Amino acid sequence: MSVLLSRVTPVPRARPARRSSSRWWHLLLAPIALLFALPFVQMFLTALTPASEINKFPPAFIPAHLTLDGFVRLFQTSGILLWMRNTIVVSGVGVLSHMVLCSLAGYGFARLRFRGRNLGFFAIVATIMIPTQLLMVPTYILFTRLGLIDTLGAAIVPWLASAFGIFLMRQFFLSLPAELEEAAMLDGCTRLQVFFRVVLPLARPALATLAIFTLLGSWNDLVWPLIAINNDQAFTLQLGITNFQGARRTDWSLLMAGNVVATLPLIAFFIAAQKQFLATMTFSGIKG
């Protein structure tokens, strides 16, 4: 993992290549880029295609008419707005909680001296090895006993903090010079004041990585909500649109409209903050 951890800004700065060969690279890259773009293009197009055209045979590549009927049906006949709200709550709480708890813990492990520190940090790193499916059954039983199953709380709690987040923040704080903090301590600040006034403002790049990691993971999470939430009042967006596949199997424009609603926020965010996203991806194998 250390190969990757040395880089926080991996955004490609292209090295100049010989111009003569660039035409060949275009011939290779243009079709590949088109192929990669195609599923999303289909998603938007299908969401806007009238149902009568989708089921026509042979299917047309480009719809003759565009309509918002799919979106209208989606908003009128499903709980999509509620699910959207639920997902925003899960991701919002997750990102905030990650930023506070993981940076506190990361700072503690990087700077403070106390008994049990190394053992504690070792335990945290060791948990990164534990695969999530090992935890599903006991966590399900635990959450049942806590009364969290079938509530939004079940989706929120696992995103409050993570070993990866603690690790990321610790590595970042280790790279900061300690002099500023020492000066602030001499001026009479307490540790907590130093942390919030001096350290956190300097940690913006690491916090951005942490926020994107948490946002992407919590927004797209399907497996755990699928197990823990069976009540459509507490559905997340991902759970909601997955459920469509059973119930609305043939209503493709509605399905794709739901897909657009669930995916567009992340697409927009990715395009707006591409650099930060790439940095986050290099730092971790989120989807792996």
Partner 1 sequence: MAATTVFSSRSERGRGRETAARGATAQQSAERRRQIRRRSLRADFEGWGFVGPAMVIVLGLSVFPAVWAFLLSLQKWNGFSTPTNVGLANYATMITDGQLRAAVNHTVLYTALFVPTSVLLGLFLAVALNRRIVLVGIYRTAIFLPFVASAASTGILTTYLFNPQYGLVNNVLRVLGLPQQGWLENPSQAMVVITLMSLWGQAAFTTVIYLAALQDIPGELLEAARIDGANVWQSFWHVTFPQLAPVTVFVTIWQTIGAIQLFDLVYTTTRGGPLNATETIVYYMWKSAFKNLEFGYGSAVAYGLFAVTLIITIGVVLYSRRTKVEAF
For partner 1, the binding residues in 96-155 under the rule CB under 8 A are: 101-102, 104-105, 107-109, 112-117, 120, 123-124, 127, 129-142
Asked if 14 interacts with partner 1 (CB under 8 A), we say yes
How many other CB atoms are found less than 10 A from the CB of residue 21?
9
**The binder of partner 1 chosen from 30, 68, 72, 272 (CB under 8 A):** 30
CB of 285 to partner 1, least distance (A): 5
The residue from 57, 65, 145, 179 that contacts partner 1 (CB under 8 A) is 57
Instruction: Round to whole Å and give the CA distance between 40 and 6.
Output: 33
Region of residue 188 (left: phi > 0; alpha: psi -120 to 50; beta: else): left
Residues 163-222 contacting partner 1, CB under 8 A: 163, 165-166, 191, 195, 216, 219-220, 222
x-or-dash string of contact with partner 1, 253-282, rule CB under 8 A: --xx-xx--xx--xx-xxx--x--xx--xx
Q: What is the dihedral of CA 69, 74, 75, 81, to 10 degrees?
A: -150
Contact flags string 61-100 toward partner 1, x per CB under 8 A = x---------------------------------------
Part in contact with partner 1 (CB under 8 A); list of ranges 18-26, 64-72, 146-154, 179-187:
18-26
| Distance between CA atoms of residues 70 and 76, nearest Å | 10
Phi, psi dihedrals of residue 93, rounded to the nearest 5°:
-65, -40
CB atoms within 10 A of CB 74: 26
Number of residues that bind partner 1 (CB under 8 A): 112
Q: Among residues 204, 212, 206, which one has the least CA distance to residue 266?
A: 212
